[in-house]
Structure 1
């Protein structure tokens, strides 16, 4: 079966190599009260905090870019790990992929609805930040679990 929109299989390992350390670094950054990495840089900002302040738009600003780098690495790694072909990509794996994506979407938005109703203030902003990766993570967990279970059953 020809899958047009998946990355080649060789990118799967690269995705895991990028995803796992960036998740560990991200968790450490969230749990730490101080900056773990201080990577100050001057960056271009489309908009820099404040509400409706035109002087804060389209400007250069100093920022610790460690959290942006960790997020970019986690997103790229998650996309490569999740959407690279399997070695033997067939209709059954495509079906598992589709069902896993559907499950991940339902769980992700269920979590988001729960958060909208029960979480407020800056904690809600943190939930939204975590929500960036939950769809990919839920998909990866379910897809790989079903593949593992299927392969284990076929060897038994």
Structure 2
């Protein structure tokens, strides 16, 4: 079976470790109040943004802001993609079917989360729902696929 779209197996361990660490740090940043005070401030170039709560929208300007969550997302998303879409040690049709099934369910669950956010979350807090939706499909896929692989190998070991 051709799996040209998958990353090499040797990237799985390193990307999994970096994804896990950066995801935990991102979750701590948003959920634990002591970590929300941790900021890395930098002057960044903004294509579009505003200058404050009631400020006018501006285009193409420099802005000093906290870039902590942006830096963590720069680790979470790429390393999560590499981890999720790396080949397994023994890649076959059964693994491909489990991968496809997990991806389909992750997509469905992610859109349910987005729809629930549209129905029940309003105001600026909705941006948090959208941020969670950005990584929830990836996270749900990884959890479902890893669980199915674990169950598959556990069942195969008992049959032998």
Q: Normalising by the residue count of structure 2, what TM-score does the alignment of the two structures yield?
A: 0.89
Structure 2 Cα separation of the partners of residues 119 and 46 of structure 1: 27
Q: Give the root-mean-square deviation of aligned CA atoms.
A: 1.8
> Deviations 1:82-130 (Å, cap 9, x if unpaired)?
0111111111111111111000000000111111111112222111111
| Aligned residue in 1 for 2:17 | 17
Change (3 A) 1:24 1:36: farther
- Structure with the larger RCO, 1 or 2 (CA within 8 Å, 6+ apart): 1
Change (3 A) 1:69 1:119: same
Gaps of 5+ in 2: none
The offset of 1:36, in angstroms, is 4.2
2:36 counterpart of 1:31 = no
Gaps of 5+ in 1: none
> Deviations 1:1-60 (Å, cap 9, x if unpaired)?
220111111111122111111111111111244644322111111112369946x21112
Contact 1:14–1:80 under 8 Å retained in 2: no
**Aligned length in residues:** 155
Picking from 48, 52, 60, the partner of 1:58 is 60
Secondary structure of 1:48 counterpart: strand
Structure 1 Cα separation of the partners of residues 15 and 2 of structure 2: 21
| Aligned residue in 2 for 1:2 | 2
